[in-house]
Amino acid sequence: MPGYSNIVILTGAGLSAESGVPTFRDKGGIWAKYDYRDVATPEGFAKNPVLVHEFYNMRRRAHEGIKPNAAHLALARLEQTYPGEVTVVTQNVDALHEQAGSHNLIHMHGEIFAALCDSCRARRPWTADLSLDLACPTCGHKGGMRPDVVWFGEMPYHMTRIAKLLATADLFISIGTSGNVYPAAGFVAEAAANGARTVELNLEPSDGVTLFDEAIHGPATQVVPAFVERLLNEN
């Protein structure tokens, strides 16, 4: 495999599954227990903000004790040792990429450990519970503090930067994502149209598997370190 100058890696919930973070659409996943319209849309927040705060407070607390797994660590090592540019675009809201040592990292769906004011749009790191009783430290508005997580129907973050990355990527790798949710599910076609080689690393074939030049299936903690090793040895 030739050396690459710009590797773009899209990650999804499957990357964090072996760290104990439930995925969304697998059997017993989050959307099997909650209706996303109630807890992950602006309409749901307007209708029942207490339920939405409970949902994210529970997830935030569950994220406190988790640790990066071998796949996160392999991606951080790739960024640190590969001669070309390596950028991770994650759909995940956990902080496992950061804890593993990735720096070139874009959270396109926001972060569970950040809060956003629905009124002045100020955002800040946040590890405690959120509730309606809180006033925004920036504008003082009460009741509008929400998780800084992109909900269905909202525009993901950093899309201009991501488009530029996909325009110049020569290798696009998709890891642990079902290829169900746009715009992320469209990134493989965008990268391929710009001449990138495309690879899927996933537990099982995703909905977009036929769009990839290559697909390697298995648990992320096995297939990701092996693929990183292959990239480093063949460069």
Catalytic choice (107, 109, 141, 217): 109
CB of 231 to ligand APR, least distance (A): 18
- The distance of closest approach from Cβ of residue 26 to ligand APR in the complex, given in angstroms and rounded to an integer, is 5
Name the phi and psi angles at 30, rounded to 5: -60, -40
Q: Is the peptide bond before 68 cis (omega within 30 degrees of 0)?
A: no
Residue whose C-alpha is closest to residue 88's, from 103, 71, 99, 73: 103
Phi-psi category of residue 141: left, alpha or beta, with phi > 0 → left and psi -120 to 50 → alpha: beta
Q: By rule CB under 6 A, what string of x and - marks binding of each residue 149-188 to ligand APR?
A: ---------------------------xxx-xx-------
Q: Cβ distance 60 to 113 under 8 Å?
A: yes
Min dist. Cβ of residue 165 to ligand APR (A): 18
How far is it, in rounded angstroms, from Cα 150 to Cα 105? Answer: 16
- The amino acid at 79: E
Nearer of residues 15 and 196 to ligand APR, judged by Cβ: 15
Q: Judged by CB, which is closer to ligand APR: 87, or 92?
A: 92
CA distance linking residue 188 with residue 185, whole number of Å: 7
Q: Is 18 in the site for ligand APR (CB under 6 A)?
A: yes
DSSP 8-state class, residue 95: S
Nearest residue to ligand APR, scored by beta-carbon proximity = 14
Catalytic residue at 53?
no
Q: Does residue 13 interact with ligand APR by CB under 6 A? A: yes
**Residue 79 beta carbon to ligand APR: minimum distance, rounded to whole angstroms:** 19
Q: What is the DSSP letter of 79?
A: H
Q: List the interface residues with ligand APR, window 195-224 (CB under 6 A).
A: 202-204, 206, 219-220
18, 220 Cβ separation under 8 angstroms: yes
Q: Alpha helices of 1-41 — where are they, by DSSP H? A: 13-17, 30-33, 36-39
Closer residue to ligand APR (CB): 112 or 145: 112
Examine residue 35 and tell whether it contacts ligand APR (CB under 6 A): no
Sites for ligand APR among residues 102-141 (CB under 6 A): 109
Q: Which residues are catalytic?
A: 109
The footprint of ligand APR (CB under 6 A) covers 12-14, 17-18, 23-26, 29, 91, 109, 176-178, 180-181, 202-204, 206, 219-220
